[in-house]
């Protein structure tokens, strides 16, 4: 039955940036589809853990700060998931950060911090997870890209650079690992009502101009992405790889 191909029973997923927002939504959706979940976050992910336990699935929290985590720290996190939950089938690279300033004034530390979280950690976690997945002959890696994987944005040069790079990295890893049964895709959320967009939503003029351009006429929510996460993590998407899938309410086609 086709619906059975969307089930994730017996799978193990690692979700980064899982204490709130899109990461929490992804983790809960994967658990509801049947997966056990490891939560990698620098903060308190206890609320997400309780939501997962309520589905009857196992949950394992891991503390890492992706701003300064070394590649070996991220590799050890992946090894911990395998040891504690018995394997690793799905990696969701969701954690992200943003800093806003004109390019002429953009601080070097802000540039480094954004690239560390949004790009370096994505590669090192994917590399560590990919080693397990390629060896087992099955895996799903889902990166969180952005509308700024396609566009330039305003006052966010580091974020834009990182999200363009995430799109390229997704395609590069998809090319290398597809023959080993590992798919690598990205979801590009549109304008979502999360902490990262709080400043935009607080600016009445900017908020109004954004909503006016979205054909769906509203900001997205974490729930709007849950179906895409489950699909790309499932056997239903076994022949989908290297894709960057917009979930944007129509923003890009406007």
| Interval 102-124 mean pLDDT | 98
- The label of the residue with tokens 């509308």 reads 147
Q: Reduced to 3 states, what is the DSSP secondary structure of residue 40?
A: strand
Strand order in the sheet with 90-93: 59-63, 36-41, 12-16, 90-93, 139-144, 182-189, 244-247
Helices 121-136 and 71-85, packing angle to 10 deg: 40
| Interval 243-247 mean pLDDT | 98
| Interval 105-130 mean pLDDT | 98
Q: Reduced to 3 states, what is the DSSP secondary structure of residue 37?
A: strand
| Interval 101-106 mean pLDDT | 98
Closest of 38, 29, 30 to residue 8, by C-alpha: 30
Question: Residue 88: pLDDT band by 50, 70, 90 thresholds?
Answer: very high
Q: How high is the pLDDT of residue 7?
A: 98
Reply yes or no on whether the pLDDT at 206 is more than 90: no
| Interval 104-113 mean pLDDT | 98
Q: Reduced to 3 states, what is the DSSP secondary structure of residue 251?
A: helix
| CATH architecture for residues 2-192+225-241 | 3-Layer(aba) Sandwich (3.40)
Between 225 and 193, the more confident residue is 225
As a whole number, the mean pLDDT across the chain is: 97
Q: What percent of the chain has pLDDT over 90?
A: 94
User: What distance in Å separates the CA atoms of residue 156 and residue 146, rounded to the nearest whole number?
Assistant: 12
User: What distance in Å separates the CA atoms of residue 117 and residue 165, rounded to the nearest whole number?
Assistant: 12
Query: What would the pLDDT profile of 131-184 be if each residue is shown by its tens digit?
Result: 999 999 999 999 999 999 999 999 999 999 999 999 999 999 999 999 999 999
Between 196 and 98, the more confident residue is 98
User: What distance in Å separates the CA atoms of residue 204 and residue 183, rounded to the nearest whole number?
Assistant: 41
Question: Residue 12: pLDDT band by 50, 70, 90 thresholds?
Answer: very high
Query: Judging by beta carbons within 10 Å of its beta carbon (0-12, 13-18, 19+), is residue 209 exposed, middle or buried?
Result: exposed
Q: How high is the pLDDT of residue 198?
A: 84
Q: Is 159 a catalytic residue?
A: yes
Question: Residue 210: pLDDT band by 50, 70, 90 thresholds?
Answer: very high
Reply yes or no on whether the pLDDT at 11 is more than 90: yes
Q: What percent of the chain has pLDDT over 70?
A: 100
Q: How high is the pLDDT of residue 225?
A: 98
DSSP string, 221-250: -HHHHHHHHHHHHSGGGTT--S-EEEESTT
Q: How high is the pLDDT of residue 195?
A: 81
**Candidates 51, 93, 159, 163; catalytic one:** 159
CA distances from 124 to 29, 76, 129, 249 (A): 25, 11, 9, 31
Query: Judging by beta carbons within 10 Å of its beta carbon (0-12, 13-18, 19+), is residue 135 exposed, middle or buried?
Result: exposed
Q: How high is the pLDDT of residue 197?
A: 84
Reply yes or no on whether the pLDDT at 107 is more than 90: yes
Under a CB-based contact definition with an 8 Å cutoff, are residues 109 and 123 in contact? no
Q: How high is the pLDDT of residue 200?
A: 83
Reply yes or no on whether the pLDDT at 196 is more than 80: no
Q: How high is the pLDDT of residue 194?
A: 86
Residue 99's Cα: distance from chain center in Å? 18
Query: What would the pLDDT profile of 30-60 be if each residue is shown by its tens digit?
Result: 999 999 999 999 999 999 999 999 999 999 9
């Amino acid at each position: 039955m086709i619906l059975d191909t969307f089930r994730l029973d017996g799978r193990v997923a690692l979700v980064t940036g899982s204490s709130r927002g899109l990461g929490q939504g992804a983790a809960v959706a994967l658990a509801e589809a049947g997966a056990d979940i490891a939560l990698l976050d620098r903060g308190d992910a206890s609320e997400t853990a309780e939501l997962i336990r309520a589905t009857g699935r196992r949950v394992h929290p891991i503390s890492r700060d992706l701003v300064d985590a070394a590649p070996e720290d991220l590799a050890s996190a992946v090894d911990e998931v395998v040891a504690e939950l018995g394997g690793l089938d799905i990696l969701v690279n969701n954690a992200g950060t943003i800093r806003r300033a004109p390019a002429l004034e953009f601080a070097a530390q802000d540039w480094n911090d954004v690239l560390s979280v949004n790009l370096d950690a994505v590669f090192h976690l994917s590399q560590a997870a990919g080693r397990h997945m390629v060896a087992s002959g099955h895996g799903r890696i889902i990166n969180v890209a952005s509308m700024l994987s396609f566009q330039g944005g305003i006052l966010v040069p580091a974020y834009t650079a990182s999200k363009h790079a995430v799109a390229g990295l997704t395609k590069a890893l998809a090319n290398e690992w597809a023959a080993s049964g590992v798919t690598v895709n990205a979801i590009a959320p549109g304008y979502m009502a999360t902490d990262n967009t709080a400043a935009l939503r607080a600016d009445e003029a900017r908020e109004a101009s954004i909503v006016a351009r979205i054909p769906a006429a509203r900001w997205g929510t974490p729930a709007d992405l849950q179906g895409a996460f489950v699909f790309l993590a499932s056997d239903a998407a076994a022949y989908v790889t290297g894709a960057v899938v917009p979930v944007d309410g129509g923003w890009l086609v406007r």
